[in-house]
Amino acid sequence: MVVPSISAVEVLANSPPLIMGKHLGYNHTTLATAPCGDHWRNLRRICALEILSTNRLYKFVGIRRDEIKIFLEKIYRISSQDFAKVELRPMLSELTFNIITRMAPGKRYGSGEEATKTDEASQFRKMMKEIFMSLAEIYERCNMVNMEPSNYQEASKFPEWRQAMENEIVCKAVATPLDPNVKLSKENGDSILDATSYRSFIGSLLYLTTTRPDLMFTTSLLSKFMNSPSNSHFMVAKRVLKYLEGTSDYGVLYLKNENDILFGGTESSAFASEWAMSNLLNNSQVLEKAKKELDFEIGQESLMDESDVSKLPHLQSIISETLRLHPAGKFKPERFEGAQGEPYNSKFLPFGLGRGACPGMGLANRVLGFTLGRMIQRFEWMKVDDRATDMTEGIGVTKPNAKPLEAMCKARDIMKVSSSL
């Protein structure tokens, strides 16, 4: 997105109330969809301190090494002898997905020999795939129009809105524990006869939120009226029971409130890596310069590690240029030479600014640099044919390439040596 002024950047720092956030974001109560306020600040603080802080990312470096090693070994099995065609998107998505799931839930849900071989893993992958597809569809059809007409019958004459309404109905299957149209206050209705039962029920819900964070907002709201609850408050509490009945098969829903982290940490990083490789394949001289930088700084006998990214300014420039490039333009990493180590300024905001800045910036930079560096160090890369790699943008929240990237690659000697160890 290109914005005309700093004031416009400040306005866009907040999350707009989109239809997608209403239903898939628990009525705008998740980190990515909540408006700036106490609730959003609390979610962001927990995310930033417990998962994405510098100290936590350092402790998780072993996970990133393991997953990148598995990713490269899959490519090696295809291209160990000669150039072979590989489709990178599914492997990159699995790489970033497993990094996030091992960091947050503590399990490896991606496919492969090392994955959790349970029905839970299969169901989880299926669920996440469906949600990703729904997000892309809803984003394109609902949010680009982004209004809620009072006359749905009139609106249904238009194909875009007809599809939008169908998607909204599908979204409602993921029910929220609180009706967004209900407004609670101390004056709601008459006081109930048995306030003790209400307090006991709310106390049980508060305990349940340790494993069901999706109930946190509603439970916190209901707890405000424990001193003098009314029938209206009790009816809202009964709705929570209906919600629990409909979601009992989910089990522990720790993962549900991790959706923001899963979405932000998998799609965006995987697609950014795919865009970077697409640009490198179309600009062979930039790819060759990156390979020479790796050979000179790291050597052909030592394996690149995550900490080595700081020694590779050209690789960092490639990442910055990739994050800058879409909307499309000329691929010129040299524009960032000499800017390594400097914080992003107001003219270049790939992770947002201020209160709306992405808390996963540190993780994204680590994953992108480490993944691309090892891919370039360990393999030779070239286009499938003489035609330029298709750079058409597709449908999705994070704007993937319309056509999944295919490339020809062959293992370099350093990959053959490391795989034999």
Binding residues for heme, as ranges, are 358
For the residues of 294-314, what is the DSSP string, one character each?
Answer: HHHHT-SSS---GGGGGG-HH
What is the distance between the alpha carbons of residues 301 and 414, in angstroms, rounded to a whole number? 6
CA 322 to chain centre: 18
H or E element in which residue 199 lies: helix 195-208
What is the distance between the alpha carbons of residues 395 and 89, in angstroms, rounded to a whole number? 15
Positions at the binding site: 358
Question: In sequence order, what are the residues at sequence separation of 6 or more whose Cβ sits closer than 8 angstroms to the Cβ of residue 375?
Answer: 72, 75, 277, 381
Nearest to 254 by CA among 119, 358, 107, 117: 107
What is the distance between the alpha carbons of residues 372 and 277, in angstroms, rounded to a whole number? 8
Question: In sequence order, what are the residues at sequence separation of 6 or more whose Cβ sits closer than 8 angstroms to the Cβ of residue 413?
Answer: 300
Burial class (CB within 10 angstroms; exposed 0-12, middle 13-18, buried 19+) of 286: buried
* 327 prior amide bond cis, ω within 30: yes
Question: In sequence order, what are the residues at sequence separation of 6 or more whose Cβ sits closer than 8 angstroms to the Cβ of residue 268?
Answer: 364, 398
Query: Any idea what DSSP says for residue 141?
Result: I
